[in-house]
């Protein structure tokens, strides 16, 4: 479907797609929207913006019928930098080796890099993100970049001149890759002090040691004629020679690698985290290098802001407590997770809240879905809903056939603490007719997971296992009358409408009125007191989920037993 016509809503995605088309300048080729990430650890929700931003832009191009791809580059040929907490300290031996050459400490994947790629790949697939993946290990190892490496080496003085312009003081790294580039620039700065004019130390290519596989190499000579590069390794003393035209034993340094890849892949759009968008960052430097050395206009881009999280006190410890996309998908339907990212300007920071906010988020999403069903109400918010709901390759992402408010599902899951089948049965009795559990999925699963894992213990509803004998023995005359009126009128089959009318109506009956009489002020005061009594007797608290839902969920036998059927 074409976008951007007269009166069509527009958003940041529309504008970024326009920029990408402008960058391609009418060239007859597929437009490339790119992301890149180093698979050095779990990809948390903050990093997800890196993947989703080019995804949405590529999707917009697909909608317009413009040939486009989302290219994702895995920087798995980057060095392993440090051993994280929880990993055997002996892994320190691998520091300096490519992430793809470090074994998987958990023994489930071929390498460290693959261990962290796999779960993210699964989560992105579930979110309808279809990317063309590139491994820098494979690219470099297969000699794909040889010409680009030689080009960079021939232009090493030009590259150094650009780097020198931006060389900055030490500062705190804001990300993995910035830490990487600071490591590089610190090496550069130290060498400037110790070894004036030693151009080889700022060589744009770094070999991995042939003997130990680490990048702890120092270049001792380079022959422009033969392209032989000689190095020694500080880890094991190995002295070797690698030929840049015929062998593939290293990589361009990060600040040169990035612009090389933009040019090689003809990247038209690639955003970057705000931390990359500062003067002297690899991004700024790369933008200059891609034009001066690699001869391609810098990609269209913008910096995107931080995404944080809240309400995750019980998050699984496998990721160090930092939620990943897979964690978020346990609680949020895929379109809702997508919506969180697409509905905001990329420069806007936000938190994903796994606490009570989840309930409001679902309500907001359902309301937007109702609005989106009305063509006369199409605006930027509806456009965001559409972008979140379907993709070119996956079509419409899974949503429940019967939409039940998340608060109702989680409330019933909370009260019953039971199986999906039991919850489905209760949901049918509280006014949401459906044929099978499947009609409620995937939302029911997420409501059950959220209730079990994200609702604090203090907010959970714990239904009493036996009647509160003390409280039942000390009922006032009025309280006894309310309870016998309730139990005396409780039908054998509980449905939400009659139960609602009865629960609200008991105080009316007690004052000699009819069930459907309008409540007087006295009745309203009685209702408050009666409801608290019911909560006390059923769940041992002064409040809880909506009483009709609670009563239907508990079923007539448990209600009678806890309210003292003998009364």
- Angle at 169 (CA atoms; ends 163, 172), nearest 5 degrees: 110
Binding mask of the shown chain, residues 48 to 77, with x at each position contacting Zn ion by CB under 5 A: ------------------------------
CA dist., res. 203 & res. 156, Å (int):
7
Nearer to Zn ion, 249 or 441 (CB): 249
Stretch that binds Zn ion, among 91-99, 117-125, 211-219, 361-369 (CB under 5 A): 211-219
By residue count, the chain amounts to 567
The residue among 212 and 394 lying less far from Zn ion, judged by its C-beta, is 212
Residue 101 contacts Zn ion per CB under 5 A: no
Going by C-beta distance under 8 Å and a sequence separation of 6 or more, which residues neighbour residue 433?
A: 402
**Cβ 331 vs Cβ 121: under 8 Å:** no
* Contact positions with Zn ion (CB under 5 A) in 481-500: none
Q: Pick one of 238, 264, 306, 350: the residue that binds Zn ion (CB under 5 A).
A: 238
DSSP string of 42-79, one letter each residue:
--BTTTHHHHHHHHHHHHHHHHTT--EEEEEEE-TTSB
**HSE-up of 549 (CA within 13 Å, CB side)?**
20
Cβ distance to Zn ion smaller for residue 175 or 235: 235
For the CB of residue 202, give the shortest distance to Zn ion in the complex, in Å. Answer: 21
Residue 525: strand, helix, or coil:
helix
Distance CA 523, CA 533 (A): 15
Residue with Cβ nearer Zn ion (238 or 350): 238
φ, ψ at 145 (rounded to 5°):
-100, 10
Contact flag: residue 232 with Zn ion (CB under 5 A): no
When binding is defined by CB under 5 A, the residue of 151, 174, 212, 472 that contacts Zn ion is 212
Shortest gap between Cβ of 140 and Zn ion (angstroms)? 18
Shortest distance, position 213 Cβ to Zn ion, whole Å: 7
Region 372-411 residues binding Zn ion, contact defined as CB under 5 A: none
**Interacting residues of 360 by C-beta distance below 8 A, sequence separation 6+:** none
Nearer to Zn ion, 210 or 481 (CB): 210
Q: Is the peptide bond before 442 cis (omega within 30 degrees of 0)?
A: yes
- Decide whether 238 or 264 has the Cβ nearer to Zn ion: 238
Q: How far is the CB of 81 from Zn ion (least distance, A)?
A: 17
Span from 232-240, 278-286, 475-483, 542-550 in contact with Zn ion (CB under 5 A): 232-240
Q: Is 235 in the site for Zn ion (CB under 5 A)?
A: yes
Number of residues that bind Zn ion (CB under 5 A): 7
Residue 93 contacts Zn ion per CB under 5 A: no
Give Cα separations from 286 to 115, 254, 258, 349, 390 (angstroms): 29, 9, 6, 25, 34
Q: Which is nearer to Zn ion, 44 or 97 (CB)?
A: 97
Count of beta carbons in the 10 Å neighbourhood of residue 283: 25
Looking at 141-149, 235-243, 352-360, 554-562, which segment touches Zn ion (CB under 5 A)? 235-243
Dihedral-angle region of residue 552 (phi above 0 means left; psi in -120 to 50 means alpha; beta otherwise): alpha
CB of 235 to Zn ion, least distance (A): 4
The residue range among 66-74, 205-213, 340-348, 533-541 that interacts with Zn ion, by the rule CB under 5 A, is: 205-213
Question: DSSP states of 324-386 as a string?
Answer: BHHHHHHHS-HHHHHHHHHSS-TT--EEEE-STHHHHHHHHHHHHHHHHT-GGG-SHHHHHHH
Pick from 102, 233, 358, 412 the residue near Zn ion by CB under 5 A: 233
Residue in 209, 334, 397, 553 binding Zn ion, rule: CB under 5 A: 209
Q: Is residue 195 within the footprint of Zn ion (CB under 5 A)?
A: no
CA gap 469, 476 in Å, rounded: 14
**Which residues sit opposite 243 in a β-bridge?**
228
Q: CA–CA separation, 438 vs 461, rounded Å? A: 25
- Residue 203's nearest CA partner among 161, 156, 168 is 156
State the minimum distance, in angstroms, from the CB of residue 93 to Zn ion. 12
- How far apart are CB 210 and Zn ion at their closest, in Å? 8
Q: Which stretch binds Zn ion (CB under 5 A): 114-122, 212-220, 469-477, 551-559?
A: 212-220
Interacting positions 258-287 with Zn ion (CB under 5 A): none
Q: Is 236 in the site for Zn ion (CB under 5 A)?
A: yes
Task: Name the residue nearer to Zn ion (CB basis): 183 or 565.
Answer: 183
> Where on the chain is the footprint of Zn ion (CB under 5 A)?
209, 211-212, 233, 235-236, 238
């Amino acid at each position: 479907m074409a976008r951007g016509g007269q009166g069509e809503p527009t958003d940041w995605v529309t504008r970024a797609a326009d920029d990408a088309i402008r960058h391609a300048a009418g060239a007859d080729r597929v437009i490339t929207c790119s992301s890149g990430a180093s698979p050095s650890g779990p990809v948390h929700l903050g990093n997800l913006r890196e993947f989703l931003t080019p995804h949405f832009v590529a999707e917009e191009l697909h909608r317009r019928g413009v040939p486009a791809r989302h290219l994702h580059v895995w920087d798995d040929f980057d060095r392993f930098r440090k051993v994280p907490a929880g990993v055997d300290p002996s892994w320190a031996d691998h520091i300096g080796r490519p992430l793809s050459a470090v074994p998987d400490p958990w023994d489930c994947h071929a390498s460290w890099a693959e261990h962290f790629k796999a779960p993210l790949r699964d989560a992105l697939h579930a979110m309808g993100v279809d990317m063309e993946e590139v491994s820098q290990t494979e690219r470099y190892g297969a000699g794909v970049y040889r010409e680009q490496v030689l080009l960079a080496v021939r232009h090493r003085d030009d590259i150094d001149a650009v780097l020198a312009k931006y060389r900055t003081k030490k500062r705190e790294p804001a990300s993995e890759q910035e830490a990487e580039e600071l490591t590089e620039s610190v090496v550069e700065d130290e060498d400037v002090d110790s070894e004036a004019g030693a151009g080889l130390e700022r060589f744009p290519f770094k070999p991995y040691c042939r003997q130990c596989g680490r990048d702890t190499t120092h270049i001792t000579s380079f022959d422009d004629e033969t392209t032989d590069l000689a190095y020694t390794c500080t880890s094991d003393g190995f002295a070797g020679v690698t030929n840049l035209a015929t062998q593939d034993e290293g990589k361009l340094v990060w600040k040169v690698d990035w612009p090389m890849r933009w040019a090689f892949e003809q990247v038209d759009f690639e955003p970057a985290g705000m931390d990359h968008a500062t003067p002297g960052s690899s991004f700024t430097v790369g933008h200059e290098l891609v034009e001066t050395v690699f001869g391609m206009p810098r990609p269209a881009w913008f910096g995107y802001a931080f995404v944080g999280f809240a309400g995750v006190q019980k998050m699984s410890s496998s990721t160090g407590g930092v939620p990943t996309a897979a964690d978020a998908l346990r609680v949020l339907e895929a379109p809702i997770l997508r919506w969180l990212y697409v509905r905001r300007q990329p420069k806007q920071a936000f938190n994903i809240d796994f606490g009570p906010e989840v309930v409001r988020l679902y309500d907001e999403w359902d309301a937007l879905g109702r609005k989106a069903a009305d063509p006369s109400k199409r605006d930027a918010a509806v456009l965001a809903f559409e972008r979140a709901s379907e993709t070119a390759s996956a079509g419409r992402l899974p949503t429940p056939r019967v939409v039940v408010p998340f608060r109702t599902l989680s409330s019933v899951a909370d009260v019953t603490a039971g199986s999906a089948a039991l919850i489905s049965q209760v949901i049918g009795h509280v006014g949401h007719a459906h044929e099978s559990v499947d009609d409620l999925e995937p939302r029911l699963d997420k409501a059950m997971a959220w209730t079990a894992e994200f609702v604090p213990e203090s907010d959970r509803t714990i239904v009493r296992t036996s009647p509160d004998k003390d409280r039942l023995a000390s009922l006032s005359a009025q309280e006894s009358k309310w309870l016998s009126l309730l139990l005396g009128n409780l039908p054998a089959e509980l449905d939400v409408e009659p139960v609602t009318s009865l629960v609200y109506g008991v105080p009316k009956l007690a004052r000699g009125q009819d069930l459907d009489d309008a409540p007087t002020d006295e009745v309203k005061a009685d209702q408050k007191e009666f409801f608290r009594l019911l909560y006390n007797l059923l769940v041992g608290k002064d409040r809880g989920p909506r009483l009709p839902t609670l009563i239907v969920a508990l079923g007539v036998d448990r209600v009678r037993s806890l309210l003292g059927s003998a009364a």
